[in-house]
A and B are shown apart, each in its own frame.
Chain A
Amino acid sequence: MNPSPSLHSQVRPGPALTLVQTKAPSLVLNAVHPSPALRVSHAGLAPKGDLSHTIPVLVFVCLGSLVSIVTLPLSQGSHWARIPVEQLVGDMSALTPPWSAPEEELAAEATVDPIEEEIAAQQQTQTLAPFELLSGVSCPAYFPGEQASAASLAFDEHIWSKLSEQLQSQATERLEVCGPFALVQKDLIVSQGCVENECGTNEVQFFLTADNKAAVEIYVDRECTPSSEPGFRYKNLLCAPR
């Protein structure tokens, strides 16, 4: 076992302190330090500021032009930009999702009897739009007073009742020989008023659009009188030269 070393406690003398208080410098309040003129590079600063307004202005002007390209022809009766909202709604309501037809109903449908089928067909006719009811139907089948059919009721409600008494009278005189309603545009049917005599001199043509807007043109001694209800889009076809 080694003997422990002897320790020597020695006091180191500290430095002599001067107790004289340090004198604080006198301050100058609100002194403004001389500010040198600085050199700042302006390269690349200006173009950003200019473009920050030009680009959005150009973007919105272009978007406005695109909207005008669609809306202006549409407001003048053009058909190409029209969304067939009514037709879309009709199509959507006609769709039945698969989960809404349970198996029992499907089985019942398979064994449906002919009477029920006939009733169903009648109901289907009732749900057809006037535009569809009148397509391909000739005047004996739709003209008021001829027979009480769905087409006749649709004609009376959507075309005939909209005419003035004078037009009704003139049209009646010119309906003796007439062709069926035919599709001339995707959403427009026109009755072919004249098939034999006096075409273009004394005849009548009825127009009906898919959204049930009606028009008529009546030729009396070669003079054509058009009449249409507000919202009828094909005014340019009325009394058009043939």
Chain B
Amino acid sequence: MALVVKKFFVSPTPREDGVYVEIVARESGLFAWLFALLKLDPNYCLRILYDKVHYESSSVFGFSKVIMPIHSVSSVSFGTVRPWKLALFWFFLFAAGAYAAAHLEEMQWALGLTVSGVVIAILLFILNRELTIGVKEVTDTSYDMTLKRSIIEGQEISEAKLEEITQIFTAILDAHKAHH
């Protein structure tokens, strides 16, 4: 299930607590948001520090926390899934309705359905675009987060931001090599 971002921090200059990257996300959906207001929502957090990577998942049923030394991380990955098929399906559904309305000589309906189709397809595309970022341990255990844009919080993570995370991670490893 895709998560929506509650908090996002990426910077080559570390925060006061030494964090370069922090992603805090919750499960998507209205109910999850309502639970979030009561602080009962399942939360996921990924933090990259100079010498450690933290991954936490917590919910009302408990929590799990993984702390990996930076050298035990074998790779950082990111990617995106663009929902073309879903958006095109809804667009053509509305286009078919517009064509039917045009056959009945209902110009306003035809125009309205066409415009609605365009707007809904664009919104579906933007809101359902999923971005995945994760780290993999040398033991082949993965810690991934699949993110999408939230309508409520409105936080959006671009592909460029995810790429920046991987660059920061590489820079951390380079900095370690320089120290040794």
Contacts and interface: CB of A to CB of B under 8 A. Distances in A.
A148 interface: no
A56 B114 CA distance: 16
Contact of B159 (A32, A49, A61): A49
B147 interface: no
Contacts of B172: 38
B102 A74 contact: yes
B107 A76 contact: yes
Contacts of B17: 32
Interface string A19-35: 00000000000001111
Contacts of B122: 56-57, 60
B14 A33 contact: no
A53 B126 contact: yes
A132 to B, nearest CB: 22
A45 interface: yes
B14 A35 contact: yes
B114 A67 contact: yes
What size tier do the contact residues of chain B reach?
A: 35 or more
A52 B14 contact: no
A52 B18 contact: no
B117 interface: yes
A61 B122 CA distance: 9
A32 B125 CA distance: 42
A38 B168 contact: yes
Contacts, number: 116
Contacts of B106: 75
B2 interface: no
Nearest to A85: B103
B115 A64 contact: yes
B98 to A, nearest CB: 5
B127 to A, nearest CB: 11
B20 interface: yes
A35 B18 contact: yes
B114 A64 contact: yes
A56 B125 contact: yes
A60 B18 contact: no
The 5 closest A-B pairs by CB, nearest first: A49-B158, A64-B118, A35-B50, A71-B102, A35-B14
13 contacts: A32-B18, A33-B18, A33-B51, A40-B12, A40-B164, A40-B167, A41-B167, A53-B126, A63-B91, A63-B95, A74-B110, A231-B104, A233-B105
Interface of A: 32-42, 45-46, 48-49, 52-53, 56-57, 60-61, 63-64, 67-68, 70-72, 74-77, 81-82, 231, 233
Given A38-B171, A67-B114, A71-B102, 6 more contacts: A33-B50, A39-B12, A41-B167, A45-B164, A56-B84, A75-B101
